[in-house]
Amino acid sequence: EDKVVQSPLSLVVHEGDTVTLNCSYEVTNFRSLLWYKQEKKAPTFLFMLTSSGIEKKSGRLSSILDKKELFSILNITATQTGDSAIYLCAVDDYYGGSQGNLIFGKGTKLSVKP
Amino acid sequence: EAQVTQNPRYLITVTGKKLTVTCSQNMNHEYMSWYRQDPGLGLRQIYYSMNVEVTDKGDVPEGYKVSRKEKRNFPLILESPSPNQTSLYFCASSPRTSGRESSYNEQFFGPGTRLTVL
């Protein structure tokens, strides 16, 4: 079953709107959660979250993690057409020694209309 | 310029014809990984490597091989490609170090290889 679930799968908004993207997870040994943005090319890194309740912020984007409820949100305020992309959430599932696995969700496709 | 390169970027081949997709990074990263991305399924990890001569299976390793003879290179080998391996493939690297407190940090992705197997 899916270990990292993102919602919604797709979203259409207008410029200036604020959006919240969700990522819930269920892994054995959580170590970190990462957000990526993917336009028509390779994913690019946005944030890495390891501690609950500490907001990471970069311009109009912000993200926070809740390790008790096992989810994270990515907020984008005052959206622009350039924010249109697939947003990927990934969780680092550590299972001993130096081994681990980065598990991705299916992504949220965000479309921002002018 | 720090980067991950993949070759080829596009490839159309036929069932059963062995192929190799190369991946190289110039950042001296220990960790490298291969993913495939399919519509509706997201990014799935094929194989990863913690360092030279250390490789391990990801979620979907069947039909693929990898090797890590040098730190900078991590080729993906399809010995006998089949149509269900038609996909978009990404290589990634990270300065991840081992240990319980470590993490992936930022993974740098290559530009992707679009493979079609007829």
pLDDT in tens, B74-98: 999 999 999 999 999 999 998 865 5
Residue B94, CA distances (Å) to A8, A25, A42, A95, B17 in order: 29, 22, 15, 18, 31
Residue A23, CA distances (Å) to A6, A36, A64, B45, B109 in order: 4, 12, 10, 19, 21
Contacts of B56 in chain A (CB under 8 A): 99
Contacts of B38 in chain A (CB under 8 A): none
Contacts of A58 in chain B (CB under 8 A): none
Can you tell me which residue has the tokens 């979907």? B60
Q: With an 8 Å Cβ cutoff, is A103 touching chain B?
A: yes
A87: closest chain B residue by CA: B42
A106: Cβ contacts below 8 Å, ≥ 6 apart: A2, A5, A6, A9, B40, B41, B42
What is the rounded distance in angstroms from the CA atom of residue B84 to the CA atom of residue B22?
A: 20
Nearest beta carbon to residue A104 from set B42, B99, B100: B42
A94: closest chain B residue by CA: B100
Q: pLDDT tens, B39-61?
A: 888 899 999 998 899 898 888 99
B40–A34 CB contact, under 8 Å:
no
B97: which 2 tokens? 């170090």
Nearest beta carbon to residue A92 from set B103, B110, B111: B103
Q: B27 pLDDT band (50/70/90 cuts)? A: very high
Please report the pLDDT score of residue B58 as a whole number. Answer: 87
Residue B13, CA distances (Å) to B10, B114, B115 in order: 10, 11, 8
DSSP state of B79: S
Complete DSSP assignment for B5-70 = EEE-SEEEE-TT--EEEEEEESS--SEEEEEEEETTTEEEEEEEEEETTEEEE-S--TT-EE--SS
Contacts of A45 in chain B (CB under 8 A): 106-108
Q: pLDDT tens, A52-88?
A: 888 999 999 999 999 899 999 999 999 999 999 999 9
What is the rounded distance in angstroms from the CA atom of residue A103 to the CA atom of residue A111?
A: 24
B103–A48 CB contact, under 8 Å:
yes
Please report the pLDDT score of residue A92 as a whole number. Answer: 84
